[in-house]
Structure 1
Amino acid sequence: MVRGLVFDLDGVLVHTDELHYRAWKALAGRLGLPFTREQGDRCRGVSRMGSLEILLEGSNRSYTEREKLRMAEEKNDCYRAQLQELTPGDVPERTAETLRELRRRGYRLGLASSSKNAGVILTRTGLDALLDRVVDGNQITRSKPDPEVFLRAAQLLELPPEDCAGVDDALAGVESARTAGMIAAAIGPAALAGAGDWNLECLARLLDLCPPLEGGRDL
């Protein structure tokens, strides 16, 4: 029985993919490298350093680890500057309503994000008030598709992974949730690829799959 739901952040609860793309594009432009939408899509659910490697595929030179760290920080500074413009209005109303209803029905809600900027996004959008526990890139050592982030979220929710569903829009995230032992709920591109145990047309579809739990919960 599902008693907990663990969500990815970007592409699931909010959509800052365009901000990521613009920040990587700006870095690529300074380096004189191409950065396509296809490359941007491949960065979904991937760590910052992993995304940098995708960007550098078009380079004919090698970089030291110190240079790569500086480039990653340059991108992150650009991205974080854009995040300061986020407000609760950037969370689709139906998304907030779905989270509130799931909590009312008795489900524990967690976040499993590889982003090290998750805290800023949650605070700026007000999503922090709708989640019980948060695991982000500052608390893990291995990025998706490794199951660490989903396993850690289940642990903080005090639930076994098999009592949770992990919701992600990236193939790597869906694989991460499944490897953790959760029901893998795909949304967005991952759902279109049929990658999940549940393939959701929208987040509100969870309300059809998650009936009220006996006893509910205190909110």
Structure 2
Amino acid sequence: MHAFLFDLDGVLVDTARFHFLAWQRLAHQLGFEFTETQNEALKGISRMDSLEIVLKTGGIQATNEEKLRYAEEKNAYYLRLCSEMTPADVLPGVLNFIRQARERGILIGLGSASKNAGTILDHVGLRPYFDTIVDGNRVRKSKPDPEVFQIGAADLGVLPGSAVVFEDAVAGVEAAKRAGMKVVGIGDPAILKEADRVFPNFEGLSLTQLEELAAETK
């Protein structure tokens, strides 16, 4: 294991809730309901792809100009929610795990569809731990396309087979697999069944457990 690549929302910080609230607010403004169950389809994909799903859910037809305006309105509200984040918002066990990895010489990268990833890492104090940040500003294709993780591996100078991806979304797991990487799911095993391993969170997760995974898949 030479590198770890982390998704952001729902893996390192719980901004997934903020995304949902922002999309739900937009849906209400457009006159329809948007539920947490429907929001599951948005995990791991880009803002504009998410918008298309939201509009389709409400049966809304929109021009390109209107779509850009809706996306900006959603993002402005999302950033407003994120602006009050602090290091206390890093999910349990994450910081300790990343510190252990860096002590072992493992490179650390971010692979997120969010265009606000850098801003959020600054708010919660995680940016200094990352050797590269690949976000929605650097990729043309959203997950499940493997581009985000391929760029991350190239930035870090590692082969895909020596990288482990940490994901909470089905689209992210598929993207990592298509990139030729091992995948650790963070969340529900029933949803992330294609991951090589699934853990509920980072609390108690050790590098030894991941070394066992690496040995099994050689």
**TM-score exceeds 0.5:** yes
Match of residue 51 from structure 2:
52
Match of residue 123 from structure 1:
122
User: What is the distance in 2 between the residues matched to 1:193 and 1:158?
Assistant: 28
User: What is the distance in 2 between the residues matched to 1:8 and 1:190?
Assistant: 17
* 1:197 positional shift: 1.2
Secondary structure of 1:12's aligned partner: coil
Match of residue 97 from structure 2:
98
User: What is the distance in 2 between the residues matched to 1:191 and 1:122?
Assistant: 29
Match of residue 13 from structure 1:
12
Match of residue 39 from structure 1:
38
Match of residue 207 from structure 1:
207
- Residues 74-113 of structure 1: pairs in structure 2 closer than 5 A: 74-113=73-112
Deviations 1:113-152 (A, max 9, x none): 0100001100000110121111000000000000000000
Q: Which amino acid aligns with 2:109?
A: G
**Percentage of matched positions with identical amino acids:** 43
The CA RMSD over aligned residues, in Å, is 1.5
- Residues 53-202 of structure 1: pairs in structure 2 closer than 5 A: 53-189=52-188, 192-202=191-201
8 Å Cα contact 1:191-1:200 kept in structure 2: no
User: What is the distance in 1 between the residues matched to 2:173 and 2:24?
Assistant: 26
User: What is the distance in 2 between the residues matched to 1:199 and 1:15?
Assistant: 18
Residues 133 and 194 (structure 1 numbering): CA distance in 2 closer, same or farther, change over 3 Å? same
User: What is the distance in 2 between the residues matched to 1:78 and 1:6?
Assistant: 28
Give 4+ residue runs of structure 1 displaced > 6 Å after superposition. Answer: none
> Where do 5+ consecutive residues of structure 1 fail to align?
212-219
8 Å Cα contact 1:191-1:199 kept in structure 2: no
Segment drifting more, 65-74 vs 46-55: 46-55
Residues 205 and 89 (structure 1 numbering): CA distance in 2 closer, same or farther, change over 3 Å? same
Segment drifting more, 201-210 vs 59-68: 201-210
User: What is the distance in 1 between the residues matched to 2:157 and 2:58?
Assistant: 46
Q: TM-score, normalised by structure 1?
A: 0.91
Match of residue 216 from structure 1:
none
